Amino acid sequence: AQSVTQLDSQVPVFEEAPVELRCNYSSSVSVYLFWYVQYPNQGLQLLLKYLSGSTLVESINGFEAEFNKSQTSFHLRKPSVHISDTAEYFCAVSPVTGTYKYIFGTGTRLKVLA
Amino acid sequence: EAGVAQSPRYKIIEKRQSVAFWCNPISGHATLYWYQQILGQGPKLLIQFQNNGVVDDSQLPKDRFSAERLKGVDSTLKIQPAKLEDSAVYLCASSPGLRQGGYYEQYFGPGTRLTVT
Protein backbone atom coordinates (compact mmCIF):
# COMPACT_ATOMS: atom_id res chain seq x y z
CA ALA A 1 0.00 0.00 0.00
CA GLN A 2 1.03 3.58 -0.52
CA SER A 3 0.59 6.71 1.58
CA VAL A 4 1.42 10.38 1.11
CA THR A 5 2.13 12.87 3.88
CA GLN A 6 1.93 16.63 3.50
CA LEU A 7 2.77 17.93 6.96
CA ASP A 8 1.96 21.59 6.28
CA SER A 9 -1.77 22.20 5.97
CA GLN A 10 -1.28 25.94 5.37
CA VAL A 11 1.72 27.97 4.24
CA PRO A 12 1.51 31.77 4.23
CA VAL A 13 4.28 33.56 2.34
CA PHE A 14 4.84 37.09 1.11
CA GLU A 15 4.85 37.86 -2.58
CA GLU A 16 8.25 37.43 -4.28
CA ALA A 17 9.52 35.28 -1.39
CA PRO A 18 10.62 31.65 -1.94
CA VAL A 19 8.44 28.76 -0.84
CA GLU A 20 8.81 25.02 -0.27
CA LEU A 21 5.86 22.67 0.11
CA ARG A 22 6.85 19.35 1.61
CA CYS A 23 5.74 15.90 0.48
CA ASN A 24 6.88 12.54 1.80
CA TYR A 25 5.57 9.20 0.66
CA SER A 26 5.66 5.56 1.66
CA SER A 27 5.52 2.69 -0.81
CA SER A 28 6.83 -0.84 -1.10
CA VAL A 29 6.82 -0.61 -4.91
CA SER A 30 8.12 1.90 -7.42
CA VAL A 31 5.84 4.88 -7.92
CA TYR A 32 5.32 7.85 -10.15
CA LEU A 33 5.05 11.17 -8.30
CA PHE A 34 2.88 14.18 -9.02
CA TRP A 35 1.98 17.65 -7.83
CA TYR A 36 -1.51 18.91 -8.59
CA VAL A 37 -2.84 22.44 -8.02
CA GLN A 38 -6.45 23.29 -7.23
CA TYR A 39 -7.65 26.87 -7.59
CA PRO A 40 -10.89 27.86 -5.81
CA ASN A 41 -13.98 26.22 -7.29
CA GLN A 42 -11.93 24.43 -9.93
CA GLY A 43 -10.79 20.88 -10.53
CA LEU A 44 -7.26 19.63 -10.04
CA GLN A 45 -4.63 20.52 -12.62
CA LEU A 46 -1.37 18.67 -13.08
CA LEU A 47 1.52 20.93 -12.13
CA LEU A 48 4.44 18.56 -12.67
CA LYS A 49 5.32 14.90 -12.57
CA TYR A 50 8.26 12.57 -12.04
CA LEU A 51 8.18 9.39 -14.10
CA SER A 52 11.85 8.55 -14.54
CA GLY A 53 15.17 10.12 -15.48
CA SER A 54 16.33 13.42 -14.01
CA THR A 55 15.23 13.76 -10.41
CA LEU A 56 14.58 17.49 -10.83
CA VAL A 57 11.40 18.33 -12.72
CA GLU A 58 10.09 21.75 -13.62
CA SER A 59 6.76 23.31 -14.55
CA ILE A 60 6.13 26.07 -17.06
CA ASN A 61 5.20 28.58 -14.34
CA GLY A 62 8.42 28.40 -12.34
CA PHE A 63 7.73 25.57 -9.88
CA GLU A 64 10.17 22.70 -9.51
CA ALA A 65 10.25 19.50 -7.50
CA GLU A 66 13.04 17.09 -6.73
CA PHE A 67 12.60 13.37 -6.25
CA ASN A 68 14.75 12.06 -3.41
CA LYS A 69 14.49 8.29 -3.26
CA SER A 70 16.56 7.84 -0.10
CA GLN A 71 14.38 10.29 1.81
CA THR A 72 11.19 9.27 -0.04
CA SER A 73 10.40 12.91 -0.66
CA PHE A 74 9.14 15.04 -3.54
CA HIS A 75 9.18 18.62 -2.23
CA LEU A 76 7.79 21.45 -4.36
CA ARG A 77 9.66 24.74 -4.56
CA LYS A 78 9.39 28.12 -6.20
CA PRO A 79 12.07 30.83 -5.83
CA SER A 80 9.62 33.75 -6.07
CA VAL A 81 5.85 33.41 -5.63
CA HIS A 82 3.08 35.57 -7.04
CA ILE A 83 -0.36 36.38 -5.72
CA SER A 84 -1.78 34.16 -8.47
CA ASP A 85 -0.04 31.13 -6.95
CA THR A 86 -2.52 31.17 -4.08
CA ALA A 87 -4.18 27.76 -4.27
CA GLU A 88 -4.21 24.31 -2.72
CA TYR A 89 -1.43 21.96 -3.74
CA PHE A 90 -1.73 18.18 -3.61
CA CYS A 91 1.08 15.66 -3.80
CA ALA A 92 0.15 12.24 -5.23
CA VAL A 93 1.77 8.91 -6.04
CA SER A 94 0.78 6.13 -8.39
CA PRO A 95 2.30 2.65 -8.58
CA VAL A 96 4.07 2.06 -11.88
CA THR A 97 2.20 -1.23 -12.30
CA GLY A 98 -1.26 -2.51 -11.48
CA THR A 99 -4.39 -0.39 -11.80
CA TYR A 100 -2.39 2.84 -11.57
CA LYS A 101 -4.63 4.37 -8.93
CA TYR A 102 -3.58 7.73 -7.52
CA ILE A 103 -3.07 8.22 -3.77
CA PHE A 104 -3.26 11.85 -2.75
CA GLY A 105 -1.91 13.69 0.27
CA THR A 106 -4.15 15.92 2.38
CA GLY A 107 -3.05 19.07 0.58
CA THR A 108 -1.22 22.28 1.47
CA ARG A 109 -3.00 25.60 1.18
CA LEU A 110 -0.54 28.20 -0.12
CA LYS A 111 -1.56 31.76 0.62
CA VAL A 112 0.54 34.47 -0.97
CA LEU A 113 0.37 37.78 0.86
CA ALA A 114 0.85 41.20 -0.73
CA GLU B 1 -10.66 20.43 -26.75
CA ALA B 2 -13.50 20.43 -24.23
CA GLY B 3 -12.60 19.37 -20.70
CA VAL B 4 -14.33 17.00 -18.32
CA ALA B 5 -17.88 18.20 -17.65
CA GLN B 6 -19.76 17.59 -14.42
CA SER B 7 -23.23 18.49 -13.22
CA PRO B 8 -24.68 19.74 -11.04
CA ARG B 9 -21.96 21.95 -9.57
CA TYR B 10 -23.70 22.19 -6.20
CA LYS B 11 -26.31 20.07 -4.47
CA ILE B 12 -27.90 20.29 -1.04
CA ILE B 13 -30.01 17.40 0.22
CA GLU B 14 -31.27 16.06 3.51
CA LYS B 15 -29.94 12.84 4.98
CA ARG B 16 -31.62 9.69 3.75
CA GLN B 17 -32.43 11.32 0.41
CA SER B 18 -30.88 10.14 -2.84
CA VAL B 19 -28.72 12.10 -5.25
CA ALA B 20 -27.04 11.52 -8.61
CA PHE B 21 -24.05 13.16 -10.25
CA TRP B 22 -23.22 13.16 -13.93
CA CYS B 23 -19.86 13.21 -15.70
CA ASN B 24 -18.96 13.55 -19.36
CA PRO B 25 -15.29 12.77 -19.95
CA ILE B 26 -13.02 14.17 -22.63
CA SER B 27 -13.96 12.72 -26.00
CA GLY B 28 -12.12 9.50 -26.73
CA HIS B 29 -10.93 8.91 -23.17
CA ALA B 30 -11.36 5.27 -22.27
CA THR B 31 -10.71 5.52 -18.54
CA LEU B 32 -12.98 7.36 -16.13
CA TYR B 33 -12.53 7.92 -12.40
CA TRP B 34 -14.78 9.12 -9.58
CA TYR B 35 -13.10 10.63 -6.51
CA GLN B 36 -14.49 11.82 -3.18
CA GLN B 37 -12.77 14.85 -1.65
CA ILE B 38 -13.83 15.53 1.93
CA LEU B 39 -12.98 18.97 3.30
CA GLY B 40 -9.41 19.01 4.55
CA GLN B 41 -8.48 15.76 2.84
CA GLY B 42 -7.06 14.76 -0.50
CA PRO B 43 -9.19 13.10 -3.18
CA LYS B 44 -9.93 9.43 -2.60
CA LEU B 45 -10.65 7.12 -5.53
CA LEU B 46 -14.13 5.62 -5.37
CA ILE B 47 -14.33 3.79 -8.68
CA GLN B 48 -12.37 3.44 -11.91
CA PHE B 49 -13.86 2.41 -15.26
CA GLN B 50 -12.09 1.20 -18.37
CA ASN B 51 -14.64 1.75 -21.16
CA ASN B 52 -17.83 0.43 -19.52
CA GLY B 53 -16.11 -2.11 -17.26
CA VAL B 54 -15.11 -1.59 -13.62
CA VAL B 55 -11.35 -1.77 -12.97
CA ASP B 56 -11.31 -0.84 -9.28
CA ASP B 57 -14.20 -0.19 -6.88
CA SER B 58 -12.49 -1.35 -3.71
CA GLN B 59 -13.18 1.91 -1.86
CA LEU B 60 -16.76 2.40 -3.04
CA PRO B 61 -19.30 1.99 -0.17
CA LYS B 62 -21.45 -0.38 -2.14
CA ASP B 63 -24.29 -0.44 0.35
CA ARG B 64 -25.20 3.11 -0.62
CA PHE B 65 -23.07 4.19 -3.59
CA SER B 66 -23.45 2.96 -7.15
CA ALA B 67 -21.94 4.03 -10.44
CA GLU B 68 -22.39 3.14 -14.05
CA ARG B 69 -20.85 4.03 -17.35
CA LEU B 70 -23.23 2.94 -20.03
CA LYS B 71 -21.82 2.78 -23.57
CA GLY B 72 -18.38 3.62 -22.21
CA VAL B 73 -18.84 7.37 -22.43
CA ASP B 74 -20.56 9.42 -19.73
CA SER B 75 -21.09 8.18 -16.21
CA THR B 76 -23.40 8.66 -13.24
CA LEU B 77 -22.60 8.27 -9.55
CA LYS B 78 -25.53 7.75 -7.19
CA ILE B 79 -25.86 7.85 -3.42
CA GLN B 80 -28.92 6.29 -1.83
CA PRO B 81 -29.58 6.99 0.99
CA ALA B 82 -27.19 9.85 1.78
CA LYS B 83 -25.54 10.28 5.16
CA LEU B 84 -24.09 13.40 6.75
CA GLU B 85 -20.56 12.07 6.22
CA ASP B 86 -21.14 11.98 2.46
CA SER B 87 -20.78 15.78 2.37
CA ALA B 88 -17.83 16.30 0.04
CA VAL B 89 -16.76 17.35 -3.43
CA TYR B 90 -17.16 14.57 -5.97
CA LEU B 91 -14.57 14.81 -8.71
CA CYS B 92 -14.66 13.06 -12.05
CA ALA B 93 -11.48 12.53 -14.07
CA SER B 94 -10.66 10.86 -17.36
CA SER B 95 -7.55 9.65 -19.16
CA PRO B 96 -6.88 8.21 -22.59
CA GLY B 97 -6.48 4.69 -21.22
CA LEU B 98 -4.82 2.42 -18.74
CA ARG B 99 -1.06 2.62 -18.80
CA GLN B 100 0.68 -0.21 -20.54
CA GLY B 101 4.33 0.56 -20.18
CA GLY B 102 3.63 4.27 -20.43
CA TYR B 103 1.85 7.09 -18.66
CA TYR B 104 -1.50 8.77 -19.16
CA GLU B 105 -2.41 12.01 -17.44
CA GLN B 106 -5.69 12.26 -15.59
CA TYR B 107 -7.81 15.32 -16.42
CA PHE B 108 -10.18 16.49 -13.71
CA GLY B 109 -13.59 18.11 -13.93
CA PRO B 110 -14.64 21.03 -11.67
CA GLY B 111 -16.43 18.74 -9.23
CA THR B 112 -19.86 18.62 -7.60
CA ARG B 113 -20.08 19.98 -4.07
CA LEU B 114 -22.58 17.93 -2.06
CA THR B 115 -23.92 19.12 1.28
CA VAL B 116 -26.01 16.68 3.30
CA THR B 117 -28.03 18.29 6.11
Collect all residues of chain B within an 8 Å Cβ-Cβ radius of residue A51. 103
Nearest to A44 among B45, B103, B108 (CB): B108
Q: What is the mean pLDDT of residues A76-82?
A: 97
pLDDT of residue B52: 86
pLDDT of residue B98: 64
Range of A36-45, A53-62, B5-14, B66-75 with top mean pLDDT: B5-14
| Cβ-Cβ contacts under 8 Å for B31 (sequence gap 6 or more) | B48, B49, B50, B55, B94, B95, B96, B97, B98, B104
| Interface check A100 vs B, CB under 8 A | yes
**Looking at A8-12, A84-88, A91-95, A99-103, which range is the least confident one?**
A99-103
d(CA B72, CA B42): 27
Burial of B18 from C-beta contacts in 10 A (0-12 / 13-18 / 19+): exposed
β-bridge pairing A73-78 and A19-21: antiparallel
Distance from the Cα of residue A37 to its chain's centroid = 8
Compute the C-alpha angle A8/A17/A104, nearest 5°.
30
| Interface check A52 vs B, CB under 8 A | no
| Interface check B99 vs A, CB under 8 A | yes
pLDDT of residue B97: 74
pLDDT of residue A103: 92
pLDDT of residue B72: 84
Instruction: Kindly report, residue by residue over B59-104, the tens digit of the pLDDT.
Output: 999 999 999 998 889 999 999 999 999 999 999 999 887 655 566 7
**Cβ neighbours of A46 (radius 10 Å):** 15
> Residue A37: how many CA atoms within 13 Å on its side-chain side?
15
Instruction: Kindly report, residue by residue over A21-41, the tens digit of the pLDDT.
Output: 999 999 988 899 999 999 987
Q: Is A105 strand, coil or helix?
A: coil
| Interface check A7 vs B, CB under 8 A | no
Q: What is the mean pLDDT of residues A40-57?
A: 89
